[in-house]
Amino acid sequence: MLGEKYFELDMSYWGRSRRLVIQILCIWALVAYGLPALVLETNKMNYLGFPLGYYNCAQVIPLFFGALLLIFNHVQEGIEADQMDGKPMVEAASSAALNAVLMKVYVAYTGGFVSFVLFLGFLEAVGVPDQAIGILFVIFTLGMYAAIGIASRTSKSDDFYVAGRNVPPIFNGMATAADWMSGASFVGMAGTLYALGYDGLAYITGWTGGYVLVSTVIAPYLRRFGSFTVPEFIASRYQGTVQLPGGKVVEMSGFARFLATIVLLSCSFTYLTAQVFSTGVIVSRFIGIQFEVAVFSGLIGVLFCSLLGGMRAVTYTQVAQYVILIIAYTVPAICMSTTQDDGFNKNNPVEFLVYGGTLQAIALREKEMVLLGLASKVTPYLEPKWRRVDFFALTFCLMVGTASLPHVLMRYFTTPSVRSARRSVTWSLGFILVLYMTAPAYAAFAKLEVYTNVIGQPLSVLPQWVFTYGKIGLTSVCGKAVASVNEAVEACAQATGGDYLLRLKDLKISKDAMVIATPEIAGLPYTIAGLVSAGGLAASLSTADGLLLAISNALSHDIYFRLIDDKASIQKRLLISRVLLVVIALMAAGTAASKPADILSMVAWAFSLAASGNFPALVLGIWWRRANAQGAIAGIICGWGLTLTYLLGTVYGGWELWGGISNVAAAVFGLPVGFAANIIVSLLTSPPPDNVLAMVDSLRDFKVTGEDLTAEELEDIKEKEEALARTQVLQVSNTAEATAEATAELTI
């Protein structure tokens, strides 16, 4: 029997795959939490001038995660090769051809961009004003993204939602990296490390470690399912009925879809606001316009890409944006690293090997500032200030949040196959590591420059960048944002600027200003500063593209099409999606203009909301057959609801922190509650229907999605899928009314 054959294959393939995942995750957890737990002891040891504990979290652990994914892919593909009786798995010829074409296009594009930067450097050398160069950078990059959006326009739903599912792994990895390395990573990461020192490394450990979860636990199975959105998977996985007190039977998949969409909106809109905020910071600095105006101006490039071509345009734009942002981030760091001579390195351009001596110089300068009376006390940059539980809680929330973010997961719907999805995750982490390996060096170089050349200097000789960024509220002297020496003298209540030496507590630099200000802090040419602005803009816009698409697709596909009008034409659905793109973009810009918080904090909130709302439903839906619709709904309401309540209470309600845990790690409370509610309610209610159990088995069965099936087996699978699709359409046709009634009953 065909069913028996699938059952036997599933046991063999699934059993080996499951054991591999468990082994990988055990190693992952041991390294992710074991090495940071020993930081105080290992910091006493040096490696190339680095305190080993700091270096482990900044460089060793992220690189280890990348190596772990390479091992996982190799072993997993070996398991799949056994299922193919040793025959190689060949990717579609169309994907290979597309890969070759894209490689040529983006190599030419990279050469063109480098030539443009060199041309602007020439303009600076011949006396073109700095602001003109900044404007050229912004206009050129925005115009280029808009051009890609126009060239990639489409009216096909498959292209609009999932880029035709034929994006090669390496380019999907670049697009995902650009989508991922938002304003938080580009603009906020080095600034956070500058401000927090060792404790800021929790962000690097958490965000890189999350990709191990994405690759092993979630992404391949979502790709195998073949949905357009995360809420669509949750609705299909959590089908089932419940009888209300009045006797009416209600299909629960619509309610599960609705809740999943609410979770998506909450985390994605929070994340989107942070990207628009960082766009405003960059545009206001380099074009010289008011922050609130800059926020709305930055949306032009985003809307061109998203409106015209959907995921297809966004994907190819994000590849272009990755090229710009990674050049922009690494070039200043390389320039600064070549000036270092610390006894270990001299003129070494490999920045993540060079800054050990810089860290030692920072530690010495901290002690010197106290001795000179420039600071009463300095918190050591290299030592943890947080409790270990705080570091681990934030790391955990960021890891799980990474594996739960809808706009990241939907990128893996675009690959040609399950194997491509796994490889794409590895490429994603590899491209992300280029920036994350550089961020600690960036922060260290900037820290030493400020400590050495700003702190302890008379007000009359403060560098111009202090006043430049003071004009837009990103720096302050003696508690005030100042735009001139006279204003600094007045702020510090001094008669003249020549006698008073600036103390450590007198200077405040926004974490969101650090990266774009560092080239000026280090005295690099203005063209480099303009290059960094272009990179920051690319990082913010690429993530904003993905987030806008995730939100509008969820509303148009999961709410409008699935719950309101299941007969809507493709043209009508795409029109609604595009209208929603504009509305959501304007709402995000309005929210960002109010400056609700720093970029990294807003992003961390989004991770906690995604982790508590999505992760239990996704993981249990794939890995536990007994999970049912009632359990998923209970888990989302309890887990996500608790996390949101804690966030709102501590940020806006004046609540005390529970156990001292910061609200950026709010999911540490909601996530276990979500898992517990899902499991308990699932066990107390009836099992999922047979068609759902068959779907879960198909997610775990290699041959159902492999190529080695007979024509008879393929036809049988196709008939079952079509029958299931018809069932789902019938179920959701009346879901809008039923969902409203069910919500009212549950509320009562």
Helix, strand, coil percentages, rounded to 5, for the chain: 75, 5, 20
pLDDT of residue 4: 44
Tokens standing for 386? 């947080």
**CA distance to 287, 622, 651, per residue, from 293 (Å):** 11, 45, 27
269-281: b or e for each residue (b if 16 or more CB lie within 10 Å)? bbbbbbbbbbbbb
pLDDT (mean) for 444-455: 90
Other C-beta atoms lying within 10 Å of the C-beta of residue 157: 18
* Element spanning 243, H or E: strand 241-243
Query: Does pLDDT of 675 surpass 90?
Result: yes
pLDDT of residue 620: 96
Global confidence as pTM: 0.83
Show Cβ contacts of residue 101 under 8 Å, excluding neighbours closer than 6 positions. none
Query: Alpha-carbon distance 549 to 547, whole Å?
Result: 5
Domain ranges of the chain: 1-91+105-456+509-591, 459-502, 711-747
* 177, 596 Cβ separation under 8 angstroms: no
pLDDT (mean) for 111-128: 91
**Of 189, 179, 254, nearest to 58 (Cα)?**
189
pLDDT (mean) for 170-190: 82
* 385, 379 Cβ separation under 8 angstroms: yes
With the CA atoms of 740, 741, 747 and 748 taken in that order, what torsion angle do they form, in degrees rounded to the nearest 10?
150
- Using one digit for the tens of pLDDT, what is the confidence trace for 198-238? 999 999 999 999 999 999 999 999 888 877 788 889 999 99
pLDDT of residue 498: 64
Most confident of 407-411, 453-457, 629-633: 629-633
Burial class (CB in 10 A: 0-12, 13-18, 19+), 147: middle
Query: Alpha-carbon distance 592 to 582, whole Å?
Result: 15
| SS3 category, 343 | coil
For 1-91+105-456+509-591, CATH gives: 1.20.1730
Query: Does pLDDT of 745 surpass 50?
Result: no
* 515, 442 Cβ separation under 8 angstroms: yes
* 636, 260 Cβ separation under 8 angstroms: yes
**CA distance to 146, 148, 270, 292, per residue, from 308 (Å):** 9, 10, 24, 26
Query: Does pLDDT of 707 surpass 60?
Result: no
Query: Does pLDDT of 352 surpass 80?
Result: no
Quote the radius of gyration of the chain (alpha carbons, Å): 26
Tokens standing for 107? 């190599």
Q: What percent of the chain is modeled with pLDDT above 90? A: 30
pLDDT (mean) for 507-513: 83
Q: What percent of the chain is modeled with pLDDT above 70? A: 82
pLDDT greater at residue 88 or residue 645: 645
pLDDT of residue 720: 44
Query: Alpha-carbon distance 492 to 479, whole Å?
Result: 8
Across all residues in the chain, what is the average pLDDT? 81
Backbone angles phi, psi at 480, to 5 degrees: -130, 145
Query: Does pLDDT of 623 surpass 80?
Result: yes
The mean-pLDDT minimum among 414-418, 457-461, 728-732 falls in: 728-732
pLDDT of residue 649: 92
- Using one digit for the tens of pLDDT, what is the confidence trace for 516-537? 788 888 888 888 888 888 888 7
pLDDT of residue 94: 55
- Using one digit for the tens of pLDDT, what is the confidence trace for 565-618? 777 777 777 777 777 777 887 887 777 776 665 555 667 788 899 999 999 999
| SS3 category, 636 | helix
Tokens standing for 158? 């498959």
Burial class (CB in 10 A: 0-12, 13-18, 19+), 245: exposed
Q: 3-state secondary structure string, 579-591?
A: HHHHHHHHHHHHH
pLDDT of residue 739: 38
* 60, 402 Cβ separation under 8 angstroms: no
The mean-pLDDT minimum among 335-349, 437-451, 694-708 falls in: 694-708
Q: What is the pLDDT confidence band of residue 746, given thresholds at 50, 70 and 90?
A: very low
636-651: b or e for each residue (b if 16 or more CB lie within 10 Å)? bbbbbbbbbebbebbe
The sign of the dihedral angle between the CA atoms of 36, 40, 41, 46 is positive
Q: What is the pLDDT confidence band of residue 181, given thresholds at 50, 70 and 90?
A: confident
Most confident of 136-140, 314-318, 620-624, 649-653: 620-624
Residue 130 C-alpha from the chain's centroid: 32
Q: What is the pLDDT confidence band of residue 33, given thresholds at 50, 70 and 90?
A: very high
Query: Alpha-carbon distance 727 to 725, whole Å?
Result: 5
pLDDT of residue 95: 64
Q: What is the pLDDT confidence band of residue 72, given thresholds at 50, 70 and 90?
A: very high
Q: What is the pLDDT confidence band of residue 345, given thresholds at 50, 70 and 90?
A: low
* 235, 254 Cβ separation under 8 angstroms: yes
The DSSP 8-state label assigned to residue 720 in this structure reads H
pLDDT of residue 100: 83
